[in-house]
Chains A and B, each alone.
Chain A
Amino acid sequence: MRPSAKWTQLLILFLLIALLPLFFPSGYYFRVGALIFVNGLAVIGIVILTGYAGQISLGHAGFAGIGAYASALAPGHLGLHPLLAVVLGALVSAAVAWLVGRPILRLKGYYLAVASLGFGILVAMVLGNERALTGGPDGMAVPDPGLRDLLKDLGLKLTGGEFWYWCCGLCLLIGAWAALNLQASPTGRALRALHGSEVAARTVGIDVARLKLQAFTISAVYASVAGSLLAMQNRFITPDVAGFMHSIEMVTMAVLGGVGSVIGAIFGAVILTLLPQVLTVFADYEQMVLGAVMILVMIFLPEGLIPSLARKLRGRGE
Chain B
Amino acid sequence: MKTLTTTALALIAALGAAGPGLAEIRLGASLSATGPASFLGDPEAKTLEMMVEALNAAGGIDGEPVELVLYDDGGDPNKALTFATRLVEDDEVVAIIGGSTTGTTMSILSVAEDNEIPFVSLAGAVSIVDPVRPFVFKTPHTDRMACEKIFTDMAARGIEKIGMISGTDGFGASMQAQCKDVVGQFGIEIVADETYGPKDADVTPQLTKIRGTGGVQAVLNPGFGQGPAIVTRNYHQLGIDLPFYQSHGVASDAFIELAGADAAEGLRLPGTALLIAGQLAEDDPQRAVVQAYKAEFEAAYGMDVSTFGGYAHDAFALLVDAISRAGGDDPVAIRDALEATSGLVGTTGTYSFSADDHLGLDLSAFRLLEIRDGGWVPVD
CA distance A283 to B75 in the complex (A): 14
**Is A240 in contact with B71, judged by CB distance below 8 angstroms?**
no
For the complex, is B173 an interface residue (Cβ under 8 Å from A)? yes
For the complex, is B56 an interface residue (Cβ under 8 Å from A)? no
| Interface mask (B95-138 → A, CB under 8 Å = 1, otherwise 0) | 00000011100110010001000000000010100000000000
Instruction: List the A residue with the shortest CB-CB distance to B87.
Output: A28
Known: A28-B86, A28-B89, A160-B114. A138 touches B106 (CB 8 A): yes
Which candidate, B76-84, B272-280, B309-317, B372-380, is the interface stretch facing chain A?
B76-84
**Is B168 in contact with A129, judged by CB distance below 8 angstroms?**
yes
List the A side residues contacting B82 at CB < 8 Å: 28, 31-32, 35, 277
Instruction: List the A residue with the shortest CB-CB distance to B69.
Output: A280
List the A side residues contacting B125 at CB < 8 Å: 138
Determine the interface band of chain B, counting residues with CB < 8 A from chain A.
20 to 34
For the complex, is B44 an interface residue (Cβ under 8 Å from A)? no
For the complex, is B219 an interface residue (Cβ under 8 Å from A)? no
Known: A136-B173, A136-B177, A138-B174. A240 touches B85 (CB 8 A): no
For the complex, is A26 an interface residue (Cβ under 8 Å from B)? yes
Among the listed B72, B81, B102, which residue makes an inter-chain contact with A234, where contact means beta carbons less than 8 Å apart?
Answer: B81
List the B side residues contacting A129 at CB < 8 Å: 168
CA distance A160 to B33 in the complex (A): 28
CA distance A28 to B115 in the complex (A): 12
Among the listed B33, B71, B76, B173, which residue makes an inter-chain contact with A138, where contact means beta carbons less than 8 Å apart?
Answer: B173
Instruction: List the A residue with the shortest CB-CB distance to B33.
Output: A283
Interface of B (DSSP majority class): helix
Known: A26-B89, A129-B168, A236-B77. A136 touches B72 (CB 8 A): no
Report the interface size for chain A: residues with CB under 8 A from the other chain: 31
For the complex, is A287 an interface residue (Cβ under 8 Å from B)? yes
For the complex, is B34 an interface residue (Cβ under 8 Å from A)? yes
For the complex, is A276 an interface residue (Cβ under 8 Å from B)? yes
For the complex, is B170 an interface residue (Cβ under 8 Å from A)? yes
Kindly name the residue among A25, A236, A283 whose own CB sees the greatest number of chain B CB atoms within 10 A.
Answer: A236
* 23 A-B pairs in the complex with CB atoms less than 8 angstroms apart: A26-B89, A26-B90, A27-B85, A28-B86, A31-B82, A31-B89, A129-B168, A136-B170, A137-B168, A138-B106, A138-B125, A139-B103, A161-B89, A234-B77, A236-B81, A236-B103, A238-B170, A240-B77, A240-B78, A240-B103, A277-B86, A280-B71, A283-B71
